[in-house]
Structure 1
Amino acid sequence: MKKLIYILVTCFIAMSFVAHAQQTTDAMYRKTLKEVLDEVQDKYHVKIKYTAAQVDGKWVNYAQWRFRPNVDTTLANILTPLDLKVNKEAPGRYKLKEYEYFRWAISDGWKELDRIAAQYHDRDTWEQRKAILKPELYKALELSPLPAKPASKPIITSKRTFDGYTVENIAIEILPGLYINGSLYKPLKIKGKIPVILSPDGHWEHQRYRADCQIRCASLARMGAMAYSYDLFAWGESLLQFKDEDHRRSLAQTIQALGAIRILDYVLSLKETDSERVGISGGSGGGSHTVLMTALDDRIKLSAPVVSVSSYFYGGCPCESGMPIHQCGNGTDNVELAAMAAPRPQLLISDGQDWTANMPEHDFPYLQKMYGYYGVADKVENVHLPNEGHDFGPSKRAALYAFVAKNFRLDLNKIKDGSGNFDDKKVTIQKEPAMYVFGDKGENLPANAIKGFDQLEKVFAQSIKK
């Protein structure tokens, strides 16, 4: 009898739950996402590409109330609450994707930049805005105040000598047990004070070991400047201390900024560095880093972000936007941050196949206006390559060389052949292990090196503890 009563009670509870769920569904006019997308396709005569994994288990509340006469508005109403979106692949053809918080519609990005720009109208009001933004950026990065600098000396490998330049690998301890690694390219013959260009890596395969990265840094050295090429956090040799997925953590942005500050400390301590000719140029994620560092650190006198800056793309990697820097000053974006470089020379290189495709139309005129507040509108330049894509290829490097040569008084002829073309053949492309600081298998990693992200968080928290 007890068993029978238990079964009856269980059935009653189950039926009550189902009835309640059904009532809830009915009350909220819920439908599965698959059902709703199928209705959209039928109603608007469009095709939406999606996988079962993207729609399984997802429901749309008040489904019928989300339909509008326009299919794009309808899809936004349906998908936004679910953190989904569609990309339009062709007229009438869409593909379902995860919502990208960092990527806006072009018109929305432009409107936001216009809203931001309405807060100032001359040099004085812009300087007031900068005075708000800069300390808030440090605070957002949790670098206010800066952590104490370790007393250790940089670890420097033996110097390799090539045609017109030398290379040595360097590791700098930026927090106790945390190292940032890179390679310093120098002219073979140095007379007096010379410029230095920081060259942060971007999100490309083979990191700073890539041929195009070596060519760029070696060419700058052959022109007469030092070039410091360094790894992103949890990329390159940093993987001796961390896993590659650690790069996609918010703290990556802070660590990269702190690393660049410590690199600046180091290069400015060298007797051959001209402190009035310090530049930075990176591409893609390295371009976002370039913009941020120029906004943060007045020691940088020239910047050249490559295929990166846009008012409608905030950088999709946590190392670019993981910390709340874009919430500073009641909302900012990468174009306004780029304007913080004024009146220092700045070159923005854009192309036709990524989020920089519309740079000449709206974002660059804004930057010209900002530089105009200082009477130096000619100090900001845009080289737009509409037929090229997202890379740091020969034409982009050529634009960088010319810009650096003009502003830092260097000789372009040192890297040209008899026909006046840039000559890469004199650059030796080193194999990856030659650019390691800690040995082929990490055998020279210091004993105090942090191992793992959990330990980094503890060390960082202790370092910023007041």
Structure 2
Amino acid sequence: MRKVVRLLHMMPMLFAIWLLNPAAVFAQNSDTEYAEPLASVLHQIEDRFKVKIKFTEEQVKGRYVKYASWRFRETLAETFTSVLTPLDLKVNQEKESVYKLKPYEYFRWNVADGWAKLDRLASAVPDKASWEDRCKLLRPQLFAALQLSPLPPKPKSKPIISNHRVMDGYTIENIALEIMPGLYINGSLYRPQKIKGKIPVILSPDGHWEQQRYRADCQIRCAMIARMGGMAFSYDLFAWGESLLQFKEEDHRKSLAQTVQALGAIRILDYLEALPETDPARVGISGGSGGGSHTVLMTALDDRIRLTAPVVSLSSYFYGGCPCESGMPVYSCGRGTNPVELAAMAAPRPQLVVSDGKDWTAQFPEHDFAYLKKIYGYYGAAAKVQNVHLPAEGHDFGFSKRKALYDFLVQQFALNGAKVKDVKGNYDESPVKVEEASQLYVFGEHGEHLPANAIKGFDELEKVFTVK
């Protein structure tokens, strides 16, 4: 009787398959695990639910769905999950009734799932004491997950400084730091033309945008900070920018990229902290996109950072789509953490989160921001964490995002905003000169000044880490 009921329940699905291929229903059985080509199953889903699924021949070639006919469910969403999850595949909806097949994205969660995890984390720290115990647990585990416990010895080499330029109210020089034997991180330091006493410094890590730190918006942001009376250090991600003199582009997709970037930022902090004009009480960091993920991690790791501003990056349901953000097991620390909990480790240090309406930060103000306010509230510092949400804007570091950062630095680090405003009180970025990328190179336009000891290739990098 049970078999009859099951067969009756399967009849609509079997009939749909029969319409596509009358022989298919009877050709599949348990001996063959009801296996069907993935392409065929996707077409069946299209027919049954009246949708379009975009995929390439390469994505489906040689792939089969076991027990295919048994995986169909009453709803499209349930069917996608049942069919695709065992193959480590998923779909993204591009528009109404149109979907695109993609590999499983471990770093991208449903909004509800991300919020639920953050709620579980919040429930475990109901007061300041339990939260501080949590931070004491997490921080050393983060270093261990990054393979930076203990930190490798610091090379004794001096910074390599080149191409000093004098601009309108600020100066620029390019700097390379050896962070492990033969491993260099490159950047450009923007300073006020005239410096009196101790001044703030802001680390500006690159994001996953074209032209790296040579982009106009990156140069403008750093120069404006210098014209307001602070310093800004713009630097490359691993296997990005000038780092490509030592590595290939595909090396950026290796998990060790996250470790190298973290170590690089620590060495940059070491260098900047030693400058006589640096005010150690006013050291900040602000990056966008992948640079924003790096910003959050570095603030959790290093208490020398006194202000943080992740831009278009922070979300409880998005862990960073590049291995340089999520390649090492940092999110397994403390029996599971997430980006917003790591951002909360900045408390009570000032924090600005900039979000927008057209990427994974779109829902940040609805739930995640309240969590940050709660943690900051334990210190009586809820006003020190702020969110500027730009619902009509997308994933960039455009003027609106830069303005939010300028305002925050004026408010929290006492930069002089009046120096860079026009007669109407608006920020005026026009005096900033956007240079050709070659002007920001440390090692020359063709890498001709790359040090003789520079390692070449990822294999050599792995050897350096093996013997650290």
State if a TM-score over 0.5 links the two structures.
yes
Moved more, 47-56 or 209-218: 47-56
Secondary structure of the 2:295 match is helix
Secondary structure of the 2:461 match is helix
Match of 2:9 in 1: none
Alignment of 1:52-91 (within 5 A): 52-91=57-96
Alignment of 1:133-152 (within 5 A): 133-152=138-157
Match of 2:453 in 1: 448
Match of 1:366 in 2: 371
Match of 2:31 in 1: 26
Give me the whole-angstrom Cα distance separating, in 2, the residues matched to 1:211 and 1:227.
15
Moved more, 166-175 or 93-102: 93-102
TM-score normalised by L of structure 2: 0.93
Does residue 242 of the first structure (1) align with residue 247 of the second (2)?
A: yes
Q: Deviations over 1:321-346 (max 9, x none)?
A: 00000111111110110000000000
Query: Contact (CA 8 Å) 2:28, 2:35: kept in 1 or not?
Result: no
The AA in structure 2 aligned to 1:239 is L
Give me the whole-angstrom Cα distance separating, in 2, the residues matched to 1:30 and 1:287.
44
1:360 deviates by: 0.5
Q: Deviations over 1:161-211 (max 9, x none)?
A: 011100010000000001100000000110000000000000011111111
Question: 1:192 is matched with which residue: 193, 197, 213?
Answer: 197
Query: Contact (CA 8 Å) 2:163, 2:439: kept in 1 or not?
Result: no
Summarize the Cα distance change of 1:25–1:440 in structure 2 as closer, same or farther, 3 Å threshold: farther
Query: Contact (CA 8 Å) 2:365, 2:387: kept in 1 or not?
Result: yes
The AA in structure 1 aligned to 2:261 is Q
Q: Structure 2: where are the runs of 5+ without partners?
A: 1-26
1:65 deviates by: 2.2
Question: 2:291 is matched with which residue: 276, 280, 286?
Answer: 286
Question: 1:264 is matched with which residue: 269, 272, 277?
Answer: 269
Give me the whole-angstrom Cα distance separating, in 2, the residues matched to 1:371 and 1:161.
41
Alignment RMSD = 1.2
1:460 deviates by: 1.4
TM-score normalised by L of structure 1: 0.93
Q: Deviations over 1:358-380 (max 9, x none)?
A: 01101111111111111111100
The AA in structure 1 aligned to 2:363 is N
Give me the whole-angstrom Cα distance separating, in 1, the residues matched to 2:256 and 2:117.
26
Give me the whole-angstrom Cα distance separating, in 1, the residues matched to 2:163 and 2:43.
64
Match of 1:101 in 2: 106
Match of 1:225 in 2: 230
Secondary structure of the 2:137 match is helix
Does residue 111 of the first structure (1) align with residue 128 of the second (2)?
A: no
Give me the whole-angstrom Cα distance separating, in 2, the residues matched to 1:256 and 1:292.
10
1:25 deviates by: 6.7
Question: 2:129 is matched with which residue: 120, 124, 132?
Answer: 124
Does residue 51 of the first structure (1) align with residue 53 of the second (2)?
A: no
1:28 deviates by: 1.5
Does residue 216 of the first structure (1) align with residue 221 of the second (2)?
A: yes
Secondary structure of the 2:296 match is helix
Give me the whole-angstrom Cα distance separating, in 1, the residues matched to 2:211 and 2:96.
37
Moved more, 50-59 or 23-32: 23-32
Match of 1:206 in 2: 211
How many residues of Structure 1 are paired with residues of Structure 2 in the alignment?
A: 442
1:27 deviates by: 4.4
1:46 deviates by: 2.4
1:44 deviates by: 2.2
1:291 deviates by: 0.1
1:426 deviates by: 0.7
Q: Deviations over 1:127-157 (max 9, x none)?
A: 1111111010000000000000000110111
Give me the whole-angstrom Cα distance separating, in 2, the residues matched to 1:258 and 1:400.
25
Give me the whole-angstrom Cα distance separating, in 2, the residues matched to 1:415 and 1:205.
27
Q: Structure 1: where are the runs of 5+ without partners?
A: 1-21
Secondary structure of the 1:423 match is coil
Identity over aligned pairs, percent: 68
